[in-house]
Amino acid sequence: MYSIDFGKSGIKVPTIAVGCMRIEDLSEKELSAFIDKALSLGANFFDHADIYDSEEVFGKALTPSIRDKMFIQTKCGIRDGRYDFSYDHIVTSVENSLRYLKTDHIDALLLHRPDTLMEPEEVARAFSDLKAAGKVLHFGVSNQSSYQMALLQSALDVPLCANQLQFGIVHTPMINSGNNVNMTNEFGINRDGGVLEYCRLNKITIQPWSPLQFGFIYGCFLDHEGYPELNATLDKIAEKYSVSKTAIAFAWILRHPAKMQPITGTTNIKRLEDCIKATDIRITHEEWYEIYRAAGNELP
């Protein structure tokens, strides 16, 4: 698996990140096997959040020698019925994550969902203190628009390295408006202030979450009866490259020149292998648009 730049951090990370939201369903033995397999495939980037209930489970499987091989990212800011980017909550959340993960540092911390009551200077103080203490090395956001990032960055003395956004074949608002500039149709609505272009201009790594999911919580579009044309197209292209439809779905994301880092959501080793096989495939320009249209996306 090849590597990409992690924002402006100066470090390289694998182009596929391992999402840990569902690992609490694994036994300790299953989790250890899953982690070992991921590391053997070069997938050493593990994504958590304080609301996932994954950190404590993951921490039980770590030893110092294994931790040294990993890049661990977590997120904070979502609380019961509200979002909270206050200094106290950010710092307390990191302290809890360090304890659960049984580590002395987090490689990257993302702010999870925008907090409209955010005070950029307060966030900056939290980031500065955490970095100075060696507790967090890099920072980013999740689900934020271009101007929300610009507002936050205006107070920071460290670059935002990543923005985690929902993106996949059947969830494409960040590119639809760019394909329909100056049009009055539904696809021409700019919903995020040009977040794709902002991230590319500012070298912020986009991390697509739920890349195989349709809607917010509805399920996987692969083999789903609601997407017959898309699945037929994926079947055809998967056969050409001798891989699974999962691999093609990830290869479709990786074909975009923004150099995105999709987050897997599986605890199935075979599915993880299929996701990583996407890094060996470069679908054609024509195939990319064929898949895009087969998902019901319109071009003017």
Active site residue 52: yes
In sequence order, the β-bridge partners of residue 263 are 17
Alpha helices in 87-208 (DSSP H): 87-101, 120-132, 146-153, 173-179, 195-201
> How many other CB atoms sit within 10 Å of the CB of residue 65?
7
Answer yes or no: are the C-beta atoms of 40 and 14 closer than 8 Å.
no
Answer yes or no: are the C-beta atoms of 171 and 214 closer than 8 Å.
yes
> Phi/psi class of residue 219: alpha, beta or left (left: φ > 0; alpha: ψ in -120 to 50)?
left
Measured distance CA(220)–CA(240) in Å, rounded: 22
Given 52, 100, 198, 227, the catalytic residue: 52
Dihedrals phi, psi of 74, to nearest 5 degrees = -140, 170
HSE-CB for 34 with a 13 A CA cutoff: 26
Provide the CA 267 distance to its chain's centre, in angstroms: 16
Regarding beta strands 205-209 and 160-166, do their DSSP bridges make them parallel or antiparallel, or are they unpaired?
parallel
- Give the catalytic positions in this structure: 52
